[in-house]
């Protein structure tokens, strides 16, 4: 088992391609490590110099006296594989490769990368990169990194760890954290991720006792299962993982795939899976840094009730808006507690946001009393105090801090955030008392939201996955609708029964047996889009079934003259209900995922669908249904009868278990629609499509 210490705490380092010039890529790490007081052995390797930056150099790795723990590689791409083999021979456990010219540079580069991977596997050397900007361990001053941000000073250690696929952007994030005084214990950029990747490193960082908060930047996920294990390690250790996963937009995803060898996965799927496994996804760099800043408190609210105390009604409204947009609940104080606050201060607005008015600064006891009351009676998971610039004077700060301390006394698990404007020295008094501080109250709300998402993920724990049975073998031959429906029915998805009519006579007989209007659908292994081909007739009376069958055959043959047509499926028309679309597919990074959405245009035009990694329990399936914006349509909106959501959830769960059991044997499954009948009457899949996996 590799640890972060195995990668980033070597006692001896060979710098291969070392430069005497401390401004060059091969020179900077040496200069940085010496400035940072790295105490391990530092061996420059350079065939043309006997000393490098004052250190004795050797011409090649094999000339090194004794063993090395780590190889830092800054030689042309074509020499990297051999360098790794040499380093392995000298005992290196890990290597980091700055060099570019690999998979990011087309086929020839990709071939070189395969060689490098083979060298690393065969020698057991764990490889960071290639094509990466580097890493550091702030505690030991080990800095195999050429980021120019490090020219401005050695890293300051702390509880933060940063891992990024992008070198330049990782470095950008690191330097912004440093400017805020956020100490970074470990920093790593992973470049092409030939071996070590973000998915693994998050877990290594989570395992390290000195790390309490992780920031990750990713463009594409390469190893989904490993990422899940890493996120679950972090969750179990109660360490938040703030993730910037870019490539949300189509244009962003295009940019991502053009510049790295990663393929940005489908964002909606990855978003759901990251959330499912406890990661806290953030949208901007500032949001991530604000969250990490607030995480210094190590207080993670386990509920979303936000109490707001303010001296400005206007700020209260603004905060309530932002909280609402983020799903935090600015729940009102109980009526009687409001009356008690009004007794203390008649012109206060005691509902929540609680406006204690500027009178608070004339009588700081009000601050204490109001906070006490909010904590005792409001049942809030976090508090946001808006004091603006008034709290920025040093004299006022001391008094206000004392008043708050008296009000909050002993509330260890309560997150309390301040929105004030103050200079650095006064701000420090607040942060020293354990309060995150933000000038902009909207940023304060965003940070509370991020910590709340972390806290709720910690409380929820790892999702329970239902057991997956051995896969039922799919029938040989084409997976027509009838075959697909039968396979799904066996798997427990309720499907409407249909029978194959091979002639107009069959159709008439089957329709007569159905005893009412029927649906007639073309049965052909070659026609996936039946409606487009004229292959669907709905609500056909039994007496018209024969004619409808014949007309359909003519239409479909006109549309698809070469298609093999087996006949048409005849089924009784389903009773009215709410139509869902159910789907499952194999995500390249995470494997089987299941999807559910409101049917038809809701899914297509409004993208109102929910995803989870398959399989899901009945409970998670219900949660997926409830997360749809269209949920009120199932839940009896507009006086409609309640739909059988339990049957719908059971179908989603059954489909997810089917997809998980089949794994790569299937590419995708779609049930469109699943007609959900009124409560107690079940659900019926009316059409099914299974596409075999590659």
Tell me how far, at minimum, the Cβ of 292 lies from a second copy, in Å. 14
639 binds a second copy, rule: CB under 8 A = yes
278 binds a second copy, rule: CB under 8 A = no
Three-class DSSP category at 301: coil
Q: Do the Cβ atoms of 38 and 140 come closer than 8 Å?
A: yes
113 binds a second copy, rule: CB under 8 A = no
412 binds a second copy, rule: CB under 8 A = no
| Contact characters 114-153, a second copy, x per CB under 8 A | ----------------------------------xx-xx-
Comparing CA positions, the residue from 499, 492, 493, 505 lying closest to residue 520 is 499
614: left (phi over 0), alpha (psi -120 to 50) or beta: beta
Report the run of H or E that residue 586 belongs to, with start and end: strand 578-587
- The CB density around residue 47, as the number of other CB atoms within 10 Å, is 10
Q: Looking only at Cα atoms, what is the longest distance across the chain?
A: 98
Tally DSSP H helices, then E strands, for the chain. 24, 27
What is the DSSP-derived secondary structure letter of residue 389? G
165 binds a second copy, rule: CB under 8 A = yes
Which residues in 24-53 contact a second copy (CB under 8 A)? none
344 binds a second copy, rule: CB under 8 A = no
Which residues in 564-593 contact a second copy (CB under 8 A)? none
Cis? peptide before 566, omega within 30° of 0:
no
Distance CA 561, CA 219 (A): 45
Q: Do the Cβ atoms of 654 and 502 come closer than 8 Å?
A: no
Residue span binding a second copy (CB under 8 A) among the ranges 283-291, 488-496, 562-570, 668-676: 283-291
Q: Do the Cβ atoms of 621 and 654 come closer than 8 Å?
A: no
475 binds a second copy, rule: CB under 8 A = no
At 145, give phi and psi (nearest 5°): -155, 140
97: left (phi over 0), alpha (psi -120 to 50) or beta: beta
489 binds a second copy, rule: CB under 8 A = no
Residue span binding a second copy (CB under 8 A) among the ranges 305-313, 499-507, 612-620, 670-678: 305-313
Comparing CA positions, the residue from 326, 546, 273, 591 lying closest to residue 444 is 326
Binding test (CB under 8 A) with a second copy, winner from 144, 191, 353, 567? 353
- The CB density around residue 17, as the number of other CB atoms within 10 Å, is 23
Tell me how far, at minimum, the Cβ of 191 lies from a second copy, in Å. 11
Tell me how far, at minimum, the Cβ of 565 lies from a second copy, in Å. 22
Three-class DSSP category at 673: strand
* Closer residue to a second copy, CB minimum distance, 32 or 658: 32
Distance CA 388, CA 538 (A): 65
317 binds a second copy, rule: CB under 8 A = yes
Tell me how far, at minimum, the Cβ of 534 lies from a second copy, in Å. 12
What HEC string does 139-152 produce? CCCECCECCHHHHH
Residues in contact with a second copy, counted by CB under 8 A, come to a total of 84
* Closer residue to a second copy, CB minimum distance, 232 or 635: 635
417 binds a second copy, rule: CB under 8 A = no
Binding test (CB under 8 A) with a second copy, winner from 389, 405, 502, 575? 389
* Closer residue to a second copy, CB minimum distance, 433 or 439: 439
Tell me how far, at minimum, the Cβ of 321 lies from a second copy, in Å. 4
Binding test (CB under 8 A) with a second copy, winner from 1, 54, 258, 395? 258
Residue span binding a second copy (CB under 8 A) among the ranges 296-304, 384-392, 479-487, 554-562: 384-392
Tell me how far, at minimum, the Cβ of 218 lies from a second copy, in Å. 9
Strand segments, DSSP code E, in 303-378 are 306-310, 354-355
* Closer residue to a second copy, CB minimum distance, 250 or 547: 250
Binding test (CB under 8 A) with a second copy, winner from 56, 459, 637, 664? 637
Which residues in 647-666 contact a second copy (CB under 8 A)? none
Binding test (CB under 8 A) with a second copy, winner from 39, 63, 122, 286? 286
Residue span binding a second copy (CB under 8 A) among the ranges 192-200, 273-281, 347-355, 533-541: 347-355
Q: Do the Cβ atoms of 223 and 589 come closer than 8 Å?
A: yes
Residues whose CB falls within 8 Å of the CB of residue 452, separated by 6 or more in sequence, listed in order: 300, 301, 303, 304, 328, 381, 382, 415
Binding test (CB under 8 A) with a second copy, winner from 123, 192, 260, 653? 260
Binding test (CB under 8 A) with a second copy, winner from 39, 65, 122, 324? 324
Q: Do the Cβ atoms of 595 and 266 come closer than 8 Å?
A: no
Comparing CA positions, the residue from 510, 487, 690, 461 lying closest to residue 584 is 690
Tell me how far, at minimum, the Cβ of 411 lies from a second copy, in Å. 24
Which residues in 493-532 contact a second copy (CB under 8 A)? 532
Distance CA 371, CA 514 (A): 69
Residue span binding a second copy (CB under 8 A) among the ranges 239-247, 273-281, 457-465, 589-597: 239-247
Q: Do the Cβ atoms of 481 and 687 come closer than 8 Å?
A: yes
* Closer residue to a second copy, CB minimum distance, 1 or 601: 601
Which residues in 187-226 contact a second copy (CB under 8 A)? 217, 219
């Amino acid at each position: 088992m590799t640890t972060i210490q195995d990668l980033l705490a070597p006692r001896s380092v060979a710098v291969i391609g070392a430069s005497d010039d401390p401004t060059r890529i091969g020179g900077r790490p040496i200069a940085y490590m010496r400035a940072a007081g790295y105490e391990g052995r530092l061996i420059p390797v350079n065939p043309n110099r006997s000393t490098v930056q004052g250190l004795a150099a050797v011409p090649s790795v094999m000339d090194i006296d004794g063993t090395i723990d780590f190889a830092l590689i800054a030689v042309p791409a074509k020499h990297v594989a051999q360098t790794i083999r040499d380093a392995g021979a000298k005992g290196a456990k890990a290597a980091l490769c700055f060099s570019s010219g690999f998979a990011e540079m087309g086929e020839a580069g990709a071939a070189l990368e395969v060689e490098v991977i083979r060298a690393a596997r065969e020698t057991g050397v764990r490889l960071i990169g290639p094509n990466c900007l580097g890493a550091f361990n702030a505690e030991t001053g080990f800095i195999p990194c050429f980021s120019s941000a490090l020219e401005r000073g050695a890293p300051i250690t702390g509880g933060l760890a940063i891992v990024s696929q992008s070198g330049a952007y990782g470095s950008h994030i690191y330097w912004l954290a440093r400017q805020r005084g956020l100490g970074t214990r470990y920093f790593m950029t992973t470049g092409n991720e030939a071996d070590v990747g973000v998915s693994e490193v998050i877990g290594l960082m989570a395992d390290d006792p000195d790390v309490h908060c992780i920031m990750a930047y990713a463009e594409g996920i390469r190893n989904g299962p490993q990422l899940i294990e890493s996120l679950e390690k972090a969750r179990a250790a109660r360490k938040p993982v703030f993730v910037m996963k870019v490539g949300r937009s189509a244009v962003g995803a295009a940019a991502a795939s053009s510049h790295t060898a990663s393929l940005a996965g489908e964002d909606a799927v990855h978003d759901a899976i990251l959330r499912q496994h406890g990661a806290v996804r953030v949208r901007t760099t500032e949001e991530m840094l604000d969250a990490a800043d607030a995480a210094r408190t190590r207080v993670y609210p386990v509920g979303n009730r936000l109490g707001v105390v303010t001296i400005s009604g206007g700020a209260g409204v603004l905060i309530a808006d932002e909280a609402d947009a983020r799903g935090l609940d600015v729940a009102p104080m109980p009526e009687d507690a409001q009356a008690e606050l009004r007794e203390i201060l008649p012109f206060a607005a005691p509902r929540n946001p609680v406006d204690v008015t500027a009178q608070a600064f004339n009588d700081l006891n009000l601050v204490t009393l109001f906070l006490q009351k909010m904590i005792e009676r409001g049942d809030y998971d976090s508090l946001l105090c808006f004091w603006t610039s008034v709290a920025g004077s040093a004299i006022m700060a001391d008094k206000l801090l004392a008043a708050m301390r008296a009000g909050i006394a002993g509330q260890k698990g309560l997150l309390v955030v301040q929105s004030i404007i103050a200079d650095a020295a006064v701000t420090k008094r607040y942060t020293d008392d354990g309060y995150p501080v933000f000038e902009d109250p909207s940023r304060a709300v965003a940070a509370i939201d991020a910590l709340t998402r972390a806290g709720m993920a910690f409380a929820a724990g790892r999702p329970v996955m239902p057991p997956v049975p051995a896969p039922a073998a799919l029938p040989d031959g084409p997976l027509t609708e009838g075959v697909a429906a039968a396979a799904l029915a066996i798997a427990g998805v309720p499907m409407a029964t249909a029978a194959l009519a091979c002639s107009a006579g069959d159709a008439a007989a089957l329709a007569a047996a159905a005893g009412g209007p029927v649906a007639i659908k073309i049965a052909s292994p070659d026609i996936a889009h039946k409606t487009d081909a004229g292959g669907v007739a709905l609500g056909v009376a039994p007496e018209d079934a024969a004619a409808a069958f014949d007309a359909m055959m003519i239409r479909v043959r006109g549309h698809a003259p070469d298609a093999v047509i087996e006949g048409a499926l005849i089924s009784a028309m389903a009773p009215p209900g709410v139509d869902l679309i159910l789907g499952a597919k194999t995500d390249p990074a995470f494997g089987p995922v299941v999807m559910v959405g409101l049917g038809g245009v809701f899914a297509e035009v409004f993208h109102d669908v929910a995803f989870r990694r398959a399989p899901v329990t009945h409970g998670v399936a219900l949660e997926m249904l409830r997360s749809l914006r269209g949920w009120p349509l199932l839940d009896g909106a507009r006086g409609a009868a309640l739909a059988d959501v339990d049957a719908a959830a059971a179908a989603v769960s059954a489909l997810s278990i089917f997809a998980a059991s089949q794994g790569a044997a299937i590419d995708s499954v779609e049930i469109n629609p699943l007609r959900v009948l009124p409560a107690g009457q079940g659900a019926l899949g009316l059409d099914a499509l299974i596409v075999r996996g590659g």
